Amino acid sequence: MAEEDTTDTKETTAPPEAAPEATPAAAAEDVPAVAVATIPQPDPKKHWFWGLGRRKRSVARVRLKPGDGKFIINKREIKDYFPSERDRQLVVSALEATETTKRVDVYVNVNGGGTTGQAGAIVLGVGRALMAANPDYMQLLRDGGYLTRDSRKVERKKPGQPGARKRFQFSKR
């Protein structure tokens, strides 16, 4: 009987050896799903994932599809369209946050406003297009502020004043 007891203990020690094999799978589950998420092919009827972004007077219509990393704005390369490095970094920041910079092609039509307003509109449009492509990115994009519309606009000029808030000079005497 003593031999049977030792056999039982050997059998009970076998499952802990199998447990370390399960830990790498558990470690893989600890990695955020965003890192391994991919951009699926769009519906054949639609051909693209769309996103619309607005900022100040600018409106950006963003089309996104799986590709090799092209970023075209108004039929021009991003480097040609935005001379400022700050605007270029802002525009691709949503792609860098989701690690899809080299996996998607982005085509943008933007009009209205200046360069800063257009860059802000493109960021919102890219964020919305990424969310349409893969809903798993939603929390990451929301935490980064890529899905939040910046509603600030220029305040209108008021009558009897030279600007929105500024007053004409006042003289007591």
Indicate the SS3 state at residue 117: helix
The mean per-residue pLDDT over the stretch 79-102 comes to 92
- Look at residue 47 in the predicted model and tell me its pLDDT: 77
- Look at residue 46 in the predicted model and tell me its pLDDT: 67
- Look at residue 5 in the predicted model and tell me its pLDDT: 53
β-pairing verdict for 71-73 and 58-66: unpaired
Residue 120 belongs to some domain of the structure: yes
Residue 72 belongs to some domain of the structure: yes
Residue 5 belongs to some domain of the structure: no
Residue 14 belongs to some domain of the structure: no
Residue 38 belongs to some domain of the structure: no
Residue 82 belongs to some domain of the structure: yes
CA separation for the pair 50, 38 (Å, rounded):
17
Strands annotated E in the chain: 49-55, 58-66, 71-73, 76-77, 104-111
Q: Residue 103: is it exposed, middle or buried by C-beta count within 10 angstroms (0-12/13-18/19+)?
A: middle
The mean per-residue pLDDT over the stretch 8-30 comes to 48
- Which residue would you say has higher pLDDT here, 2 or 78? 78
* CATH number, residue 87: 3.30.230.10
Number of domains in the chain: 1
Residue 8 belongs to some domain of the structure: no
Could you tell me the residue range of the domain that residue 61 belongs to? 50-144
- Look at residue 49 in the predicted model and tell me its pLDDT: 87
Q: What angle do CA 122, 125, 126 make, to 5 degrees?
A: 85
Residue 155 belongs to some domain of the structure: no
